[in-house]
Structure 1
Amino acid sequence: MSAPPKVLSFRDTSTETIEESGVRTEVESSLTPSSRTGTRAQIRCTLSSLIGAATAVGNIALIEGEEQYVQRASSLPLSMATYREAIQFARSIGVTPNFRRVIDYFGVPEGELPAGFRVELRLEADRALRLDLVRDIAYGKNGVKRPTNVLFSADSANPYEVEPIKGLIANLTCNPGIIYDLFINNTKANVDHLFSTRDEVMQELGRILGPGCDMSVELNNPFARSEQEILDEVYHFRELLSEYRLVIKVPHTGPVNADNMEQLLTGDKKFKKRYDQVETKDAFRGHNLALLLSDHGIRVNFTLMFEPYQAILALQAKPYFINCFIRHRAFQAGAMKRALTQYAVTDDPKYLEELRAMMVEKDYLSPGEKDLELLKVKRTAEDILRYRKFDSPEGSDGLDAVRHNLRLLRTVNLPDTRLIICSMEGPNNFPDIDSLLCDDQYADVMDRVVVTAEPNYLAQFTTCNQVISYQRRFLNAAKGQK
């Protein structure tokens, strides 16, 4: 078996500095003041520095027929270490078949590299240095990283809603509810009913977003009895969106399975069991489905993650995305806290009765526990709040799971796995998340974070009262100009 090609990645674009008064370099150098010697020469190399460069056995040439592909990347920076390695080992420069396939599939304009990919250099056995395009949504077009390490995503299947935000996001997530309830069957959203099927919607979203955004799509029925039925649906999505953009959303399943799922669809739609009264096979169905898709080269967005303890088991399934769902969990914790406080102040059992009813309604307790002893209800709620650290800065904002999972990501052997922070509502969720993301203790994992929400929710945080006040002033000043 031949050795794998050596990979020289454009992730490192550092420059080598030589401090010497009056020095000028011949490789795209720039001079800046130096505190010690007066000038600092920074040697800046690009891929074009290699083309035609002299080596011990001749000049580095472009591989015939691949010139136009290579020229797309000619301005990409190289560190001096990479430049030296290439000069030492490379004899020619070309592109991989995958590079050509990406460019041709997306119809990338002449002279450009597509967003959503980073460039890597692969040194092959014949000493050809080949450019490859590796999927990485941290990159905008032409191999330039996006403005921030934190990435943004839209929860929407509405093309009219996605269009205004397309240049700001790196991912889109949707599910059957978002596709059918909020768009296709919504006469206000689906103007003139131009879209009738899921495929039509996904194709239009793909056209709008282009190559730079991943698209997370949920299976219609994760409880399908046949693996082939699931794979057929996945392959259909891949044909629509390409292997590069497709991410399949796989849910945690808990005690729900193909035989009892009807309980959630008929009658009072309540599930007879409590959420933790599981069969092992059922509870790990989502994990095994994620592993199945991973084995078939499909990236997985492992969803329905609420509690911190779910994450470390979810990571065993090698997901591309894990999640933290925020709003309902935070609101429910607040309701528990209020009920317990009111009971502590008044000693009136009605507050525990209301708490019990809420916990049955929100599936903490099963319908069969609607008359559960109030003391047990109280202890259960107290245990939940204690675990969520609701009485401390760690969890009072409902973001304890986010903090936990950011710490966890430091320890995993999955370099491409990111955390999606999702399910937001109200005036505080996004500002609280923003404050957390600016905390220095998580700076090293900010490149593992994706924040996703409905476009209009994110839009609310582009403005404040002073925007109107200053616009009033500026517009009136301009109106009176002479």
Structure 2
Amino acid sequence: MREIKNVSCTLNTLLDDTVVVIDSQKKDVNRVLNHHLPLDQYEILSKYVKKIGVTQRFSDVIQTFKTPENETPEGFRVAYELAANGILKADLIRDISYDKNGKKRPTNLLFSADSANPYEIKPISKMIANLTCNPGIIYDLFINNPQANIGNQYKTRDEVMEEIGRILGPGADISVELNDPFGKSDTEILEEAEKFKEMLSEYRVVIKVPHTGPVTNENVSQLLSGDKKLNKSFSEVTTEGAFRGHNLALMLEEHGFRVNFTLMFEPYQTALALQAKPYFVNSFIRHRLIQSQLMDQSLKQYQATGNPQFIEKIRDMFIEKDYLKVDQKKMDLLAVKKMAEDILQYHHFNDAEGSDGLDSVRHNLRLFKNTNLDDSRLIICSMEGDFNYPDIDKLLVEKEFEDLVHRVVITAEPNYLARFTSCNQVVSYQRRFMNAANGQK
């Protein structure tokens, strides 16, 4: 079909003496009658449509979110299916790229917030398409923090989650992390997920599942007592243990849950993570960049001075950050030096691919070019400092990645995102404007 410019059609255009709205569904159909309908689709549908109605899911979404008349809620894309006997049914498909009434959000790039603090979520609630909260964020940063949980108003995780759901409305997904991926049975995990679905609705809830690595139900207690160190290396995994998170994610997906699969720090983790069919997969950047910077600086200081204390500093970091086990704290310094050099080479830290700490993001975006998971998105997370976000912003307008921006969600603490709404000249101009408004020179 040839599209004719400047000709606008709506679903309402289909109505005539032979095409009618199903009486019992008129109230819901009225919500979409004025939605745009491409001319080529109109020409095809006009040959077959006899009645217009809505799907059961359409009605359920409207009722779930108590949507005002003549509107469809944010967070849903309007779609149509042609059923038997010429009945055209409007449907609502969960898609956080959409604002209310089937309109796209302002940009293909979406934003998310890491927070469980209702007071800081409220100002950003209309700007985000997802919110992520894990037990640490809920308990340590909010419920048990008297400066955040003012007056100890919120006492339980459920109270916090219900208030967050109320603030965000239907437009944002809410990623809730499993409390214990190790000790609970599959049945107990499904029960926990069902509870969150009941609380937040099946349309918004996303279950956040962490990668487990060498940590298993048998050794997780080591992280909770004594020096809180694991007695094995991050690479000393069992097949069953390392794929525990992957299999949990798959199980939840098979039971109809969308999954936020997390703790991907190195790009080589992502392809295997995608085999678990996640809705979100995460790319952490902060810690990796900070560690690369320390290794690079210390190696250069060693090269300049020959002082072994700079390699010892790397070794101490390797122990602290779990590259090495505690019993490797006397590792030969030449071996430590070689290990650091190899890591920096893999991180592309001294070339354009990774000097900004974003080689893992570039790698993961290229993986997304070849994934068959059309609805999966890459969350870029764990940022700090003056340049993490600006560097990501620049990366996402590079020609190579322009067709992948709609697959990206940037997430950070609300205040970190807030700082990048401003710059120095805002202050300069406000000084000038406000003085002028007050009649001053």
Quick one: which of 390, 414, 420 aligns to 2:379?
A: 420
Whether 1:295 and 2:259 are equivalent positions in the alignment is no
2:85 aligned partner, one-letter code:
D
Answer whether contact 1:300 1:321 (CA < 8 A) is retained.
yes
Quick one: which of 50, 66, 73 aligns to 2:14?
A: 50
CA distance in 1, matches of 2:364, 2:40: 35
CA distance in 2, matches of 1:224, 1:62: 53
Counterpart of 1:89 in 2: which secondary structure?
A: coil
State TM-score, norm by structure 2.
Answer: 0.98
Per mean C-alpha deviation after superposition, the further-off stretch among 402-411 and 374-383 is 374-383
Give the superposition deviation at 1:75.
1.8
Match of 1:463 in 2: 422
CA distance in 2, matches of 1:333, 1:48: 59
CA distance in 1, matches of 2:360, 2:344: 13
Whether 1:324 and 2:283 are equivalent positions in the alignment is yes
Counterpart of 1:329 in 2: which secondary structure?
A: helix
Answer whether contact 1:16 1:43 (CA < 8 A) is retained.
no
Give the superposition deviation at 1:481.
7.8
Which of the pair has more CA radius of gyration?
1
Give the superposition deviation at 1:44.
1.6
Per mean C-alpha deviation after superposition, the further-off stretch among 75-84 and 408-417 is 75-84
Give the superposition deviation at 1:16.
5.4
Residue ranges of structure 1 left out of the alignment (5+ in a row): 1-14, 19-40, 53-57
Answer whether contact 2:9 2:36 (CA < 8 A) is retained.
yes
* Structural mapping, 1:74-113, within 5 Å: 74-113=33-72
Answer whether contact 1:225 1:258 (CA < 8 A) is retained.
no
Match of 1:22 in 2: none
Give the superposition deviation at 1:182.
0.7
Counterpart of 2:85 in 1: which secondary structure?
A: coil
Give the superposition deviation at 1:370.
0.7
CA distance in 1, matches of 2:365, 2:34: 35
* Structural mapping, 1:52-71, within 5 Å: 52=16, 59-71=18-30
CA distance in 2, matches of 1:352, 1:340: 7
Match of 1:351 in 2: 310
1:238 aligned partner, one-letter code:
K
1:42 aligned partner, one-letter code:
N
CA separation of 1:481/1:261 partners in 2, compared to 1, >3 Å: closer, same or farther?
A: same
Whether 1:238 and 2:191 are equivalent positions in the alignment is no
Counterpart of 1:100 in 2: which secondary structure?
A: helix
Whether 1:120 and 2:79 are equivalent positions in the alignment is yes
Aligned residues: 441
Match of 1:452 in 2: 411
Give the superposition deviation at 1:193.
1.2
Match of 2:434 in 1: 475
Match of 2:89 in 1: 130
Residue ranges of structure 2 left out of the alignment (5+ in a row): none
Answer whether contact 2:3 2:39 (CA < 8 A) is retained.
no
Answer whether contact 2:286 2:383 (CA < 8 A) is retained.
yes
Whether 1:398 and 2:362 are equivalent positions in the alignment is no
Answer whether contact 2:319 2:326 (CA < 8 A) is retained.
yes
Give the superposition deviation at 1:96.
0.2
**1:427-481 CA-partner distances (Å, limit 9, x unpaired):** 1111111111121211100000000011111111111111111111111101118
Counterpart of 1:292 in 2: which secondary structure?
A: helix
Quick one: which of 242, 249, 254 aligns to 2:213?
A: 254
Whether 1:186 and 2:150 are equivalent positions in the alignment is no
CA distance in 2, matches of 1:85, 1:276: 57
Give the superposition deviation at 1:286.
0.3
1:135 aligned partner, one-letter code:
R
**1:383-440 CA-partner distances (Å, limit 9, x unpaired):** 1111111111111111111111111111111000000000011111111111111212
Per mean C-alpha deviation after superposition, the further-off stretch among 138-147 and 375-384 is 375-384
CA distance in 2, matches of 1:452, 1:167: 14
Counterpart of 1:120 in 2: which secondary structure?
A: strand
Moved runs in structure 1, 4+ residues, more than 4 A? none
Quick one: which of 325, 334, 345 aligns to 1:375?
A: 334
Answer whether contact 1:16 1:42 (CA < 8 A) is retained.
no
1:168 aligned partner, one-letter code:
M
**Aligned alpha-carbon RMSD (Å):** 1.3
